[in-house]
């Protein structure tokens, strides 16, 4: 990717404070680093540029591989949903009615029925599941699709994190003969998502959503949350037990071994490109982005440090190192633009390339290269013959370091709050966990008094003390935060 002739100012001066002016940092870095372009004149619809799109694909491919490894098969279902099918499950209809786009005609003709743009594909798929499924022998089915979905977000849109066209949504849908099988599937899905977020070095907490906030049409759901640099919580993904609600609404029954006909049990779970917006926010710093090495569009950039009279030997070494690393499977790039060496450093740091290799006269002479880490700024001289193994080692170390930093941030942003009476002791930022009796009315009152939204609770985590609203024994902790 040549940047020659680019209209970028010669000197890249990206110097925003990620923690104190996060939104400015976020908006500016996504455009400067060529992740997206927001200038398209439909609110909430973004252009993904090649550099950003490559990172997105590398990210989503990790999840697709995990789904495939656990027996999920990829499918494609249509974007358009007839209104009468969308309306079959009434909680779902109510939950999505404000967000779903409607097509009523063409430029010159009115349609005889309304068609909706999928905000998610339950209703599209389940209409077909009724036609497909006859016997318990047809079960389980575990399918996923990787598509765009449309949601008319009424809140402020925010690049990648809250959009109206979700460009990259991986939604999985499963069907089972028994309740126990569906519950087992929920546990498998949670394990898949844990592996996925772990492989992006994003720390998280997993919470069961309180009843009043459960996904439309579901029995219950578990959400993965992390904390953004501005101290707000964000949902990374959701695992949903639909029970038999959709099966009843869509009349999906199978004949069991004892010849009786029973409604099926269903689950679904989804993750969108939001995960990459979160990842870039969490790992970046005041100089720009920092990609973990497994999803970095460019893992290593080679910068020739040209000295007069030595051009040929330096460039020839750069090329041979480039060829070697490419043949070893690294995503590597040489910067041959006419920018100064210093400007090249700033530029690639801003773009988040995890490793840089500098080659000048010293390196040629010593049969070595200088390797600089993006995460720590540390530079080391590595002998040519040790380069490949050293790079692999450094990559692991960078990823480990990114994860540790992120984990520290998340841990320092979860606060236990026993006494809610003193307003000055309620943290403004981050997540608070409060002892809770488990009753909806107390949870809703906690939301109101703390000025935060309930994220959920961990059913296995017992709290001590009393519910601060009703004074009864606390059953668990309710997690609350300002959220995206
Ligand atoms: Zn209570």
- Per the domain annotation, does 5 fall within a domain? no
- What pLDDT is stored for residue 423 in this prediction? 86
C-alpha 438 – ligand 1 centre gap (Å):
7
Q: pLDDT (tens digit, 9 = 90+) per residue, 460-478?
A: 999 989 999 999 999 999 9
C-alpha 302 – ligand 1 centre gap (Å):
60
Name beta bridge partners: 436. 476
Whether 206 and 346 map to the same domain: the answer is: no
Whether 255 and 312 map to the same domain: the answer is: no
- Per the domain annotation, does 6 fall within a domain? no
Whether 387 and 440 map to the same domain: the answer is: no
Least confident of 5-14, 36-45, 153-162, 377-386: 5-14
- The three-state DSSP-derived secondary structure of the chain is CCCCCCCCCCCCCCCCCCCCCHHHHHHHHHHHCCCEECCCCCCCCCEECHHHHHHHHHHHHHHHHHHHHCCCEECCCCCEEEHHHHCCCHHHHHHHCCCCCEEEECCCCEEEEEEEECCCCHHHHHHHHHHHCCEHHHCCEEEEEEEEEECCCCCCCECCCECCEEEEEEEEEEEECCHHHHHHHHHHHHHHHHHHHHHCCCCCEEEECCHHHCCCCCCEEEEEEEECCCCCEEEEEEEEEEECHHHHHHCCEEECCCCCEEECEEEEEEECCHHHHHHHHHHCECCECCCCCCCCCCCEEEEECCCCCCHHHHHHHHHHHHHHHHHCCCCEEECCCCCCHHHHHHHHHHCCCCEEEEECHHHHHHCEEEEEECCCCCEEEEEHHHHHHHHHHHHHHHHHHHHHHHHHHHHCCEEECCCCCCHHHCCCCCEEEEEECCCHHHHHHHHHHHCCEEEEECCCCECCCECCCCCCECCEEEEEECEC
Looking at 353, 377, 401, which one is the last position of a domain?
401
Q: pLDDT (tens digit, 9 = 90+) per residue, 18-60?
A: 999 999 999 999 999 999 999 999 999 999 999 999 999 999 9
Whether 129 and 255 map to the same domain: the answer is: yes
Q: Which domain holds residue 386?
A: 300-401
C-alpha 454 – ligand 1 centre gap (Å):
14
CB 317 within 8 A of CB 360: no
393: pLDDT strictly greater than 70? yes
Q: Kindly report whether the global pTM for this prediction surpasses the value 0.85.
A: yes
- Per the domain annotation, does 292 fall within a domain? no
Whether 120 and 240 map to the same domain: the answer is: yes
C-alpha 478 – ligand 1 centre gap (Å):
11
C-alpha 66 – ligand 1 centre gap (Å):
40
C-alpha 475 – ligand 1 centre gap (Å):
9
Structurally, the chain folds into a number of domains equal to: 3
Residues ≥6 apart with Cβ < 8 Å to 311 = none
Whether 83 and 187 map to the same domain: the answer is: yes
Whether 370 and 442 map to the same domain: the answer is: no
Percent of the chain, pLDDT > 90? 93
C-alpha 432 – ligand 1 centre gap (Å):
16
- Per the domain annotation, does 191 fall within a domain? yes
Q: How confident is the model at residue 12 (pLDDT cuts 50, 70, 90)?
A: low
C-alpha 17 – ligand 1 centre gap (Å):
41
C-alpha 228 – ligand 1 centre gap (Å):
29
C-alpha 261 – ligand 1 centre gap (Å):
42
C-alpha 440 – ligand 1 centre gap (Å):
8
C-alpha 467 – ligand 1 centre gap (Å):
5
Looking at 254, 283, 312, which one is the last position of a domain?
283
Looking at 249, 283, 317, which one is the last position of a domain?
283
The CATH number that applies at residue 385 is: 3.40.50.800
Whether 418 and 392 map to the same domain: the answer is: no
Whether 466 and 335 map to the same domain: the answer is: no
Whether 181 and 42 map to the same domain: the answer is: yes
Whether 196 and 310 map to the same domain: the answer is: no
Whether 149 and 128 map to the same domain: the answer is: yes
Q: pLDDT (tens digit, 9 = 90+) per residue, 282-311?
A: 999 999 999 999 999 999 999 999 998 999
The CATH number that applies at residue 105 is: 3.30.930.10
- Per the domain annotation, does 230 fall within a domain? yes
């Amino acid at each position: 990717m040549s940047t020659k002739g680019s209209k970028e100012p010669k000197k890249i001066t990206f110097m925003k404070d990620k923690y104190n002016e996060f939104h400015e940092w976020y908006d500016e870095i996504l455009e400067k680093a060529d992740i997206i372009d927001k200038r398209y004149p439909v609110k909430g619809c973004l252009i993904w540029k090649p550099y950003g799109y490559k990172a997105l694909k590398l990210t989503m491919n990790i999840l697709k591989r995990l789904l495939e490894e656990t027996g999920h098969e990829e499918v494609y279902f249509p974007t358009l949903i007839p209104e009468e099918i969308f309306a079959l499950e009434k909680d779902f209809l109510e939950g999505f009615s404000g967000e779903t786009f409607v097509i009523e005609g063409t430029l010159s003709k009115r349609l005889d029925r309304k068609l909706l743009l999928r905000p998610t594909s339950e209703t599209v798929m389940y209409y077909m599941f009724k036609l497909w499924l006859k016997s318990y022998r047809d079960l389980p089915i575990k399918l996923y699709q990787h598509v765009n979905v449309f949601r008319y977000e009424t809140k402020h849109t925010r690049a990648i994190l809250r959009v109206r066209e979700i460009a990259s949504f991986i939604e999985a849908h499963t069907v089972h003969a028994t309740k126990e099988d569906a519950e087992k599937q929920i546990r498998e899905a949670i394990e898949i998502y844990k592996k996925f977020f772990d492989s992006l070095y994003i720390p998280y907490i997993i919470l069961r959503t309180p009843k009043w906030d459960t996904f439309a049409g579901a029995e219950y759901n578990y959400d993965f949350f992390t904390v953004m640099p501005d101290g707000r919580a964000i949902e990374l993904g959701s695992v949903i037990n639909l029970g038999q609600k959709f099966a009843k609404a869509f009349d999906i029954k199978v004949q069991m071994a004892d010849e009786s006909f029973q409604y099926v049990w269903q689950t679904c779970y989804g993750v969108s490109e939001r995960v990459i917006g979160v990842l870039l926010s969490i790992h970046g710093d005041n100089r720009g982005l920092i990609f973990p090495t497994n999803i970095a569009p460019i893992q290593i950039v080679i910068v020739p440090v040209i000295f007069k009279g030595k051009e040929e030997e330096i460039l020839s070494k750069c090329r041979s190192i480039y060829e070697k690393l490419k043949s070893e499977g690294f995503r590597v790039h040489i910067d041959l633009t006419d920018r100064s060496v210093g400007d090249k450093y700033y530029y690639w740091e801003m773009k988040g390339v995890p490793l840089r290799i500098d080659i000048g006269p010293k390196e040629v002479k010593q049969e070595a290269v200088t390797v600089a880490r993006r995460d720590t700024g540390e530079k080391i001289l590595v002998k040519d013959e040790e380069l490949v193994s050293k790079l692999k080692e450094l990559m692991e170390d960078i990823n480990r370091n990114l994860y540790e930093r992120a984990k520290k941030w998340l841990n320092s942003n979860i606060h236990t709050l026993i006494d809610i009476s003193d307003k000055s002791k309620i943290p403004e930022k981050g997540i608070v966990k409060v002892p809770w009796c488990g009753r909806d009315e107390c949870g809703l009152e906690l939301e109101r008094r703390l000025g935060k939204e309930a994220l959920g609770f961990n059913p296995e985590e017992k709290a001590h003390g009393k519910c601060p609203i009703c004074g009864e024994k606390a059953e668990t902790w309710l997690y609350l935060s300002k959220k995206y």
